[in-house]
Amino acid sequence: MDQGRQSKPDILLIIIDQLRLDYLPFLEKTGRLLPYHAICSTGSIPSSTEAMHTNISTGLWPKNHGFISKNPKGRENKGQGLDQLIEKFKQGAITPIGHIASANGYQVINLGAKEETVLTMSLQKHADLQVASQSGKLLVRGKQDLLVDAISAKLKDKKYDIYPIFDLGMPIIDLASAALRMRDAHFPLFLSLALPDIDYYGHKFGPHSPNVIGRLKTLDEHIANMLEEHHSFMCYLVGDHGCRRTVKYVMETEHPHLAHIYHEENDELSYEGKILFDNSVEQIEYDGGILRLWFSQRGATLDEETIKLISTYGKPIDARLPSESDERVSRSIHENLGELVVIANNDATFCKRSWIDKEYHPLIEAAQPLPKGSYPLGEHGTYHCEDTAIPLLSNQKLEKDAYLNIELNELVKNDLYT
Ligand SMILES: [Zn+2]
């Protein structure tokens, strides 16, 4: 038997995408099994999935890890945000929690649907098993061949391919339970699970929609069953960010400098007007809770009239000026944030064109109303409380009532070093 085994606890980190603080009552069974509760705040902007998972995994703010968005500099550089982070992991400039676990003699298993929620936890070469979706298909990788082969076979058996990415929460819990039964119990285990379902339903149908509540209850059953079967784990369950209901839309159009403004009225989006950015703006990235702009010339900014108009929908902040006093912003100042950022007001969103089904794009271009069901009802990314206050549940006594998400890294690290 491995001598170090008895003293090292197995650790389970579950991240439910878009878990709002007030969803806690819907995790009734899990809440009983993980009886210590606290608030876990996002603490930085934007509260994007990728940035918040990286905060948790690295214990660093976005100004230090830089993974603010999958699109760091405008739409031409798609995918680069994750590549940049992976490069920093490879060089050892930043250490994700999975590497610390591995260095402490832990087996590392990272399971999730969205690629960025898995790869922020560990490089593939440090993980015994990783499952993540790539181009709509679940891929199995890792250095422990037995586990990789067994989980690959299970994926084939069960035809998991039929699940769209947003419905993968239960299959991921199922795979985790299978991996727990098959793994080599001589070694302690660090297992991370990233569950995508609530984020999808929250965006599409809005927070507290029947779709969200129904899925929370189902996830609660599955998580509780897993915890009951593997009750020796030290477990932390948390969200990455919350969700808020949106009714005002600054909509990306085909024209690189033109946004169309909509608002919800009688269950549809009515066209209201437009914003035309001048040619000094080189790139614009619509990110829901945040609008990010880069200029073609140093020191350029928006004209007064555009600033006034955009201020109806959010708070413009010049990220090039060092004097920003809001700490949630200063924790995220980084070249990938953009030069001018507009943080959405409570019920406004900067809607990416690709979030609307293609068949409705001609309506956007023609400034026509958009029918119910064609546009998202929930968003995150601001520093509004419904986006930023997340529940933290554990079976370990928590010393504080409120944490910042980067502090979760410290909690898990302390357990790894036990
Ligand atoms: Zn998320």
Distance 18 CA to ligand 1 centre (A): 5
Tell me, what CATH number does 46's domain have?
Answer: 3.40.720.10
Q: Check whether residue 113 and residue 234 sit in a common domain.
A: yes
Q: Which amino acid is at 381?
A: G
Distance 73 CA to ligand 1 centre (A): 20
What pLDDT is recorded for position 415? Answer: 92
Q: What is the pLDDT of residues 305-331, one digit of tens each?
A: 999 999 999 999 999 887 667 899 999
Contact 208, 216 (CB under 8 A): no
Residues 6+ away with beta carbon under 8 Å from 322: none
Assigned domain for 2 exists: no
Q: Check whether residue 119 and residue 37 sit in a common domain.
A: yes
Confidence tier at 3 by pLDDT (50, 70, 90): very low
What pLDDT is recorded for position 213? Answer: 97
Assigned domain for 192 exists: yes
Element of type H or E holding 294 = strand 290-295
Tell me, what CATH number does 251's domain have?
Answer: 3.30.1360
Distance 200 CA to ligand 1 centre (A): 9
What does pLDDT average to over the chain?
Answer: 92
pLDDT over 80 at 413, yes or no = yes
Distance 49 CA to ligand 1 centre (A): 3
Element of type H or E holding 129 = strand 129-134
First-to-last alpha carbon distance for the chain, in angstroms, is 19
Distance 193 CA to ligand 1 centre (A): 13
Longest dimension (CA), the chain: 72
What pLDDT is recorded for position 5? Answer: 57
What pLDDT is recorded for position 168? Answer: 85
Q: Check whether residue 27 and residue 112 sit in a common domain.
A: yes
Distance 17 CA to ligand 1 centre (A): 4
Please report, rounded to a whole number, the percentage of residues in the chain having pLDDT higher than 70. Answer: 95
Distance 238 CA to ligand 1 centre (A): 11
Q: Check whether residue 32 and residue 181 sit in a common domain.
A: yes
Distance 241 CA to ligand 1 centre (A): 6
323 class by beta-carbon count within 10 Å (0-12 exposed, 13-18 middle, 19+ buried): exposed
pLDDT over 90 at 7, yes or no = no
Distance 368 CA to ligand 1 centre (A): 30
In degrees and rounded to multiples of 5, residue 212 shows phi and psi of -70, -50
Q: Check whether residue 195 and residue 271 sit in a common domain.
A: no
Distance 4 CA to ligand 1 centre (A): 36
pLDDT over 60 at 12, yes or no = yes
pLDDT over 50 at 176, yes or no = yes
Assigned domain for 1 exists: no
Q: Check whether residue 85 and residue 230 sit in a common domain.
A: yes
74-85 average pLDDT score: 74
Distance 44 CA to ligand 1 centre (A): 14
Instruction: Return the half-sphere exposure (C-beta side, CA atoms, 13 A cut-off) of residue 285.
Output: 26
Assigned domain for 5 exists: no
Q: What is the pLDDT of residues 297-310, one digit of tens each?
A: 888 999 999 999 99
| 39-53, 82-96, 170-184, 248-262, range with the lowest pLDDT | 170-184
What pLDDT is recorded for position 20? Answer: 97
Distance 408 CA to ligand 1 centre (A): 16
Tell which of 359, 375, 391 closes a domain: 375
Residues linked to residue 157 through DSSP beta bridges, in sequence order? none
Assigned domain for 255 exists: yes
Assigned domain for 4 exists: no
What pLDDT is recorded for position 414? Answer: 93
Residue carrying the six token digits 């929250």: 202
Q: Check whether residue 226 and residue 252 sit in a common domain.
A: no
Distance 116 CA to ligand 1 centre (A): 10
Distance 198 CA to ligand 1 centre (A): 9
Distance 276 CA to ligand 1 centre (A): 30
Q: Check whether residue 191 and residue 331 sit in a common domain.
A: no
3-state SS, residue 135: coil
Q: Check whether residue 132 and residue 240 sit in a common domain.
A: yes
Residue 268 CA to residue 67 CA, distance in Å, equals: 34
Number of structural domains (the chain) is 2
| 160-164, 188-192, 236-240, range with the lowest pLDDT | 160-164
Distance 239 CA to ligand 1 centre (A): 8
Distance 1 CA to ligand 1 centre (A): 40
Residue carrying the six token digits 């994750």: 82
What pLDDT is recorded for position 183? Answer: 86
Assigned domain for 288 exists: yes
Confidence tier at 166 by pLDDT (50, 70, 90): confident
Distance 306 CA to ligand 1 centre (A): 30
Distance 148 CA to ligand 1 centre (A): 27
Q: What is the pLDDT of residues 207-250, one digit of tens each?
A: 999 999 999 999 999 999 999 998 889 999 999 999 999 999 99
Distance 51 CA to ligand 1 centre (A): 9
Distance 391 CA to ligand 1 centre (A): 14
Domain with 260, as residue range(s), is: 247-375
Q: Check whether residue 85 and residue 209 sit in a common domain.
A: yes
**Strand pairing of 137-141 and 314-318?**
unpaired
Q: Check whether residue 341 and residue 207 sit in a common domain.
A: no
Q: Check whether residue 225 and residue 306 sit in a common domain.
A: no
54-65 average pLDDT score: 97
